[in-house]
Amino acid sequence: MDKISIVDYGVGNLLSVRQGLQACGAQVDIVSDYKELTKASKVVLPGVGAFSAAMENLNNLKFTEVLKNLANNNVPILGICLGMQLLFDESEEFGSHTGLGILAGKVKKLPVHSVENEKIKVPHIGWSPLIPTVKSDIFFKEANIWMQKQEFAYFVHSYQVIPSDTDIEIAHTLFGSHKVCSIVRSEKIFACQFHPEKSANFGLRVLKDFCNV
């Protein structure tokens, strides 16, 4: 099992993510130096807060190009919550802002009305069921049983990812009857809108799958 590097750029849930990975048996480093990140074998990009501030921090700390290079070199990357959104091309949160562009797509605000035109409270906070859009995925080992039954995950977000390529979506959840993309995978780039480190046993299985990829 390779050592995992968590990117410390000032806007992440670092300790809980590290504890979750360590519970899966992983060795974990929290990395705040871009030069150190260039040596990473596996990377976790966490994140909470606003997209623009997060990208500003990544740029100022010189993490942006390193992350792109790692992705181009097929290094496994896991994006969590805001970290998932940052992997995409752009976000409309508080204006238009450029993301990492590792995955194609946009980040848009969650709908404030349901399909039935009832008002929905945003942000989306709490436990929601995951609905798989594929029968199985080669990334998953521990969590593949989830494809056969309903599992719940813990969400805290106001914006959602809209992938350009819908084939990378592994699962979605329902928010006011709207389908919200919740897990994506493209080659060794994996991301989830929910917090696996806060999603009990299922979340730990997801993290363990990343540890073993």
Please tell me the predicted confidence (pLDDT) of residue 114.
79
Provide the angle, in degrees to the nearest 10, between the axes of the packed helices 51-60 and 64-72: 90
The domain total for the chain is: 1
Q: pLDDT tens digits, residue range 2-39?
A: 799 999 999 877 999 999 999 999 999 999 999 999 99
Residue in 24, 81, 181, 211 annotated catalytic: 81
How many beta carbons lie within 10 A of that of residue 95, not counting itself? Answer: 8
Q: Tell me the residue type at 34.
A: Y
- 65 noted as active-site residue: no
From residue 142, give the alpha-carbon distance in Å to each of 37, 183, 212: 27, 16, 10
Give the C-alpha separation, 213 to 200, whole Å. Answer: 20
Q: pLDDT tens digits, residue range 128-148?
A: 999 988 777 777 776 666 666
Could you tell me if 188 and 213 are in contact, meaning their C-beta atoms sit under 8 angstroms apart?
yes
What pairing do the DSSP bridges indicate for beta strands 97-98 and 77-80? unpaired
Q: How far apart are the first and last CA of the chain?
A: 9
- 81 noted as active-site residue: yes
Structural domain that includes position 169: 4-212
User: Residue 142 is encoded by which pair of tokens?
Assistant: 């521990």
pTM of the model: 0.95
Could you tell me if 20 and 12 are in contact, meaning their C-beta atoms sit under 8 angstroms apart?
no
Residue in 97, 124, 157, 195 annotated catalytic: 195
- Kindly report the CATH number assigned to the domain that includes residue 54: 3.40.50.880
Residue in 97, 151, 197, 211 annotated catalytic: 197
- 36 noted as active-site residue: no
